[in-house]
Structures are given as structure tokens and as C-alpha cells.
Amino acid sequence: MTDPNMTDKPMTDPPAGPPAGLDREALAAASRAPAYRKVRRAEAIPGGTPTEKAPDPSLGGDPIAKERYTSTDFMRLEWERMWTKVWLLGGLESDVTEPGDYICTEIGRESVLLVRQKDGAMRAFYNVCLHRGNRLRAEGASSAASFKCQYHHWEYEIDGSFKRIPDLDTFPQGAPPCRGLVELPCDTWGGFVWFSLDKSVGPLREFLEPMPLHLDPYNFTKMALTRDITVEWECNWKASVDAFNESYHVQGIHPQLLYYLHDLDIQIDCYERHNRYLIPFGVVSPRVRKPPSIPDPIKTIMKGAGMDPADYDEPIENIRRDVQKQKRKVGPSQGKDYSRLNDDQLTDDYHYLIFPNVTLNAHADDLMLFRQRPHPTDPNRMFYDIWTLELVPDGQERPPRPRHQRFAYGDKSIGLVLDQDAQNLPGVQAGMQSKAFEGLWVGSQELRIRHFHKVLDDYVQGPGGA
């Protein structure tokens, strides 16, 4: 590491060890993380989400090489060895309830149709006509009696088999020797449809392990989509995954959240591929002074639980506990089944990364899911999908499905917090290209980032590869 403060000084025989001109003790004294009292954590409940801390993996302290964010070579390897080998989130089961309902989703250069069959199963096909390679359908969810190519009207059944090839008798070689559209593995879990570009991929459940055990208690199938947005971001998809994989940036770009959550008392758990952290909500960060009144963001949490902040006379530090108690009490009468969730899940953010690209903010009453997709050709661009799902109380009708919105970064707000993230990322991507930047210098608050890149490396370079 070069000390930028030294550039004006004569560079003769740089000493081994800490560079001269930098007082490490003063730096440490000025930079210490604040002390804090740990929040109370709930015990796991039987059949509920595990709460125990997973042992931290030993992943060392080396910088994470930056080329993976910027190089097209790495992008190619990532495609060949990772994207085409894993299970990928394709869409919501609620979009494909009837035979013929389909989701057309894109990943990298590929486009895939996820189609509900007459027998209720889901099947996935490359969204490509076997005649001249035309895409059969545009991205989005819809319904089809058959898939007819708009170019020469080659037509496929919803199970992918050829239905009609106009003037087939003019093809001396006959129809292609396959049965129809090229099929891919497809399965469902958690109210979501998953597919893989690897025909010999293992079972979805195995890949997701142990996510179903963790997330089934939320019962996402009882939640309805209320927001469906895709934003084009000027950064590598991993810069976005990284941004949501640590809480260290809260004090940097989300100062308002310091009056909403505990950004330091974070339980990080890394599993085989996937990871999570548990962030206490409804508390004031130890980084800021105790405010004279209940912060507005915490009032919102209280109101969500049917509590009146104006009628609350307890110290602010009791709010999280009292919201948990209140939700437990009123949940059943509101038609909300929290029976498989522990108390912390009634307030906190159980935040998961399902490798490679699905970020889930799981809450008792909603799920905020981000899907981070690479650009087909440019490592400096990505697609950021936001799906917000909200619990539909028993006895209430599901709200109508929102229209999918797609826009470029900056054209529309996606909410203050996400705008703050979005605003930051192009600068990260640009800065990483600099000669002065060698790699990511990540700390223990960013352990999930290290873990994510280790899992990625295992795919791209082979386990233990360098």
C-alpha cells in the first residue's frame, strides 16, 4: 500500500513495516467503532427459522481483486462456469397459476420461458425459435395457448413440442430432429420459479440448502407482489450484491437509518453457498446520540403494529421489544399468522443472499427482494430487479398485480434508501477502474462479501483455486 501523504516526500529506501508519516495509533484512536450493548435476541422456535450463529469461515484478509468487476474476461468465465451452472430465480409462481401462463425472463445473453403445464408442473425452455433463432416472446409475464414465432409462424405447444411448421413439406431435411423447444431444468420453491441453464444441475432443494429451512416460516406464498421494477444500473452486478451484503455503509450513505436500526450488532451467518445477517430494527444505532423523541422511521414501525407513538411513554430502547409483543398479540386478529416466526422476526430484517444474485429482506409482513442480473455484454452495467411482496391477511383479497416498470437509473425514484444506494454505485464502478485501486479492502462487518466472493471463486476457478 502506498501512503498518498508521502507522494510529496522523497521516496528513498522505503522502510519495511508501517509507512513513515502515518501515525497508526492516532488513526486507530480516531477510527474506533463505538462500543454498544448487544440487543436482546430471540430464541428459535420449533419449526421456525434457525437463529444460532454459524461459525465464521476463515477467509483471511487479502484484498478482493477488482478485475472481477471490470474485466470482460472474468465476465466470460463467470458466465461459463457460474451463471450456466447454478439455479436462478426466474419469477413468481403467482404469475403462472393457470396452464399456459408463462414468465419470460432474461439472464445474460439468454432468454428463458418458464411455462405452467396442463398437469400443474413448471417447465423451462430457451426462448428461441429453432427455425432462424428469433425470440418467441418479449420479457414479462403473460399467458399463451401456444408459442408462435412472429417471423414465419413456427408454432410450439406450451410443453415446448412442435405444433405446426408452415410448409414443412418445403424442408427437404424435414423438421429439426428434436421434439421442439430446448428444455431446461425448472422447479419451484417459496412461491418462486427457478431454472438452470445447466441441464445436468442437481436438485433445486440441494442447491438452496439451507434456505428453505430458514425462509419457509415466512410463507412467502401468502404474500402478494406490490412493486415490480427493473432499473438499469451503471455497475457490475456484484457491486450491487456487495452493497446489500454489509451494514457498514449505513453510517456512510444512509444516515437516516441510524435512527431506525442497529448497524453494528449484526449477526452474520455464512453457509455453504448462501449467507445472511440479522439486523435489529426499531432501535437507535450507537453511532448517534439518543434522540429527544421517537424518530419518525421507528414511529412507522410502531404504527405498522397498531401502536400509537404519541401514546408511548417508555424509553426508546424498549420499543423493539414492545412492538414484538404487540404484533404477537394482535397478529391473529389481523389475519396474520406469525406462529412460525420468532419475536425478532416480527421487527428485524432477516437478510439473506441466495447465491448468486438474490437478496432478500425478509420481514413478518413483507419481503423486499432484489435480483441482480448481469448485462449481456458489459461488465460495467447490470439490471437491478426490485420485487416487493406484502402479506395478504387472511380473509382479504390479493391486491391487483402491479405493472412492471423498467427505467434507467436516475429517471425515477425507487425510494430514499435505494436511491442512496443507486446514487453511490456508478462512482464505485468508475473508481474501481482506477490504477490506484487494487482491490476491495473489506473488514469483518463485510464478512458476507468475502464469503460471496469465495463461493464465486469456487465456481469460476474451482474449489481452492486462485
| Vertex 256 angle, CA 253 and 258, to 5° | 90
- Cβ distance to other proteins smaller for residue 316 or 447: 316
C-alpha dihedral sign at 427, 429, 433, 437: positive
Kindly tell me which residue out of 255, 399, 427, 443 binds other proteins, with binding defined by CB under 8 A.
255
126 versus 260: smaller Cβ distance to other proteins: 260
Residue 54 Rama label (left phi>0; alpha psi -120 to 50; beta):
beta
Q: Which is nearer to other proteins, 314 or 411 (CB)?
A: 314
Q: How far apart are the first and last CA of the chain?
A: 21
CA dihedral over 248, 275, 236, 141, signed as positive or negative:
negative
Q: Is 301 in the site for other proteins (CB under 8 A)?
A: no
Q: Which residue has the cell 443507486?
A: 422
423 lines the binding site for other proteins (CB under 8 A): no
Q: Does 11 bind other proteins (CB under 8 A)?
A: no
Q: Which of 36, 162, 248, 259 binds other proteins (CB under 8 A)?
A: 259
Task: Return the residue of 11, 310, 436, 466 that touches other proteins, per CB under 8 A.
Answer: 310
- Residue 309 in grid coordinates: 407513538
282 in contact with other proteins (CB under 8 A): no
Burial of 216 (0-12, 13-18, 19+ CB in 10 A): middle
With CB under 8 A as the contact rule, the residue among 10, 292, 395, 463 that binds other proteins is 292
State the Cα–Cα distance between residues 149 and 382, nearest whole angstrom.
Answer: 28
- Least CB distance to other proteins at residue 390 (A): 22
- Contact window for other proteins (CB under 8 A) among 183-191, 197-205, 288-296, 348-356: 288-296
- CB closer to other proteins out of 117 and 420: 420
User: Smallest distance from the beta carbon of 163 to other proteins, in angstroms?
Assistant: 58
| Helix (H), strand (E) counts: the chain | 11, 21
Least distance to other proteins from the beta carbon of 303, Å? 7
Q: Show the site string, 206-245: x = touches other proteins by CB under 8 A, - = not.
A: ----------------------------------------
Q: CA distances (Å), 152 to each of 97, 130, 160, in order?
A: 30, 11, 17
Positions in the binding site for other proteins (CB under 8 A) = 255-256, 258-259, 288-293, 295-297, 299, 303, 308-311, 313, 315
